[in-house]
Amino acid sequence: MPIALQLPSDPPAQVQPPGIPSFDDQYAKARALANNGQPELALAAYSALLTRSPGNADVLLGRGIVYARLGRWNEAEADLGAAARISPGYADVWEALGNTYRWSEQPAKALDAYEQLVALRPNDPAALVARARAHRALGHAAQARADLERARTLGGDAGEIDGLLPDLQPNVRANAAIPSAGTPDAVNAAGYTWGAGLSSSWTDVGNGPRWNDQTLSLRRYMKGGSLGFETLRAHRFGQHDYAWALDGYAGLWDGAYANLRYQHSATSRLFPANSGRLEVWQALGKGWEASLSDDVLGFDSRVNIYGVSIAKYSGNFYVQLRHQNIVSEGSHSTGQRLLARWYYAGDADNYLELTANSGRSDDPLSLAGGRARSGGGGLAWVRYFNPQWGGKIGASFSRADGAASGRERGLSFALYRRW
């Protein structure tokens, strides 16, 4: 852990009665203890000063820095946060608070603190480099690169800047434990603890009322994985239905992770009463990864969807091809989907997505003589307006056997929040 922290400058002198150590003397002693490797004695000295001068921002800053050196993050955050509230224009406080968050692996909070620091010291290259480090930890390559280049023009440490720039190549795999770019909403925590989403879609099916679906989700990110809870609503064929689901991702061995999902509907008018999913991904090296999956849908007649996919990411692009076999009693279907993403901002948050799919069904009960073909595609845009808030808008179409009654067009929207 870095320890070369600058303690706050001496506070204004205070006149004390004869025989009692002055505030300045006590403060100088506390700083000396902190800088001479005696943190516990320094904490006692700073605490005594706070008894003498409650709410003193300089003393809170000094004690918060010592707590941070000891890795006592909660106590450091409490002292430095109090100092920031007392003296919001005190740049040293925001620097120390940002460092504390960065060392305790809370890059989103570190970025907020460094934003305040840069606002107070806009031409300080060290402040810009600190903010760049937080952007880098969050996968914001473009913002980090801009801060580093600005710091260079202001005379920042060239060696430090050159050492950070190589790590800012476009990175669509922001979570090393769960490497796939195919599931960014679930795995790109980027230092955040929680994520939430609200999505809705509308589908024009030609004849009859439009379909609509809504999903509300809350996800908890943990080291090596995440767990989400979802509530789902669907309105189709003049009926509506509700379901809830648990959706988890977990790292396995090196370069591998799994997605496990369970969904339940009490009424099962549109959703299956119970359904589950298991998919295992494996990185193959040189940007390639593959997966095997099985979805089980508990309708009156059980349906299994077996899937295999191969994917490749290169620079700012990610391409995935998935093949599926859908098997139920007396029916067999196949489908292919091609997905391509362009991460236009060079980070893992913002991208344009294009999909194309085709399918074939062999069903002896179908009106098409036992064989039916379908196809379609879609376009979606995901944009984060700031590190915490983002959104998605998409459009899709599909058709079956060229019949007008088999044409569908859809629109979808989503709002994301993480903290």
In sequence order, what are the beta bridge partners of 365?
Answer: none
Residues 51-90: tens digit of each pLDDT: 888 888 888 888 888 888 888 899 989 989 999 999 999 9
Residue 399 and residue 331 share a domain: yes
Element (H, E) at 77: helix 73-86
Half-sphere exposure of 306 (CA within 13 A, CB side): 5
Residue 162 and residue 194 share a domain: no
Residue 13 located in a structural domain: no
Residue 296 and residue 390 share a domain: yes
More reliable by pLDDT, 371 or 31 = 31
Residue 285 and residue 362 share a domain: yes
Task: Using DSSP, state whether 317 is helix, strand or coil.
Answer: strand
Residue 215 and residue 107 share a domain: no
pLDDT beyond 50 at 357: yes
pLDDT number for residue 176: 38
pLDDT number for residue 350: 86
pLDDT number for residue 323: 92
Residue 333 and residue 219 share a domain: yes
Last residue of a domain, one of 168, 198, 220: 168
Residue 279 and residue 138 share a domain: no
- 310: nearest Cα among 290, 330, 295, 340: 290
Compute φ and ψ for 367, nearest 5 degrees.
-75, -10
Domain extent for 413: 184-418
Half-sphere exposure of 195 (CA within 13 A, CB side): 24
Residues 222-246: tens digit of each pLDDT: 877 889 999 999 998 888 899 999 9
Residue 125 and residue 223 share a domain: no
Residue 175 located in a structural domain: no
Residue 231 located in a structural domain: yes
pLDDT number for residue 393: 96
**Mean of the per-residue pLDDT values of the chain:** 82
Residue 253 and residue 400 share a domain: yes
Residue 208 and residue 281 share a domain: yes
Distance from C-alpha of 361 to C-alpha of 340, rounded to nearest angstrom: 25
Distance from C-alpha of 176 to C-alpha of 93, rounded to nearest angstrom: 32
- Mean pLDDT for 404-417 is 83
CATH number at residue 122: 1.25.40.10
Query: Poorest-confidence range of 74-78, 106-110, 288-292, 312-316?
Result: 312-316
Residue 397 located in a structural domain: yes
Distance from C-alpha of 139 to C-alpha of 350, rounded to nearest angstrom: 11
CATH number at residue 324: 2.40.160.10
Residue 3 located in a structural domain: no
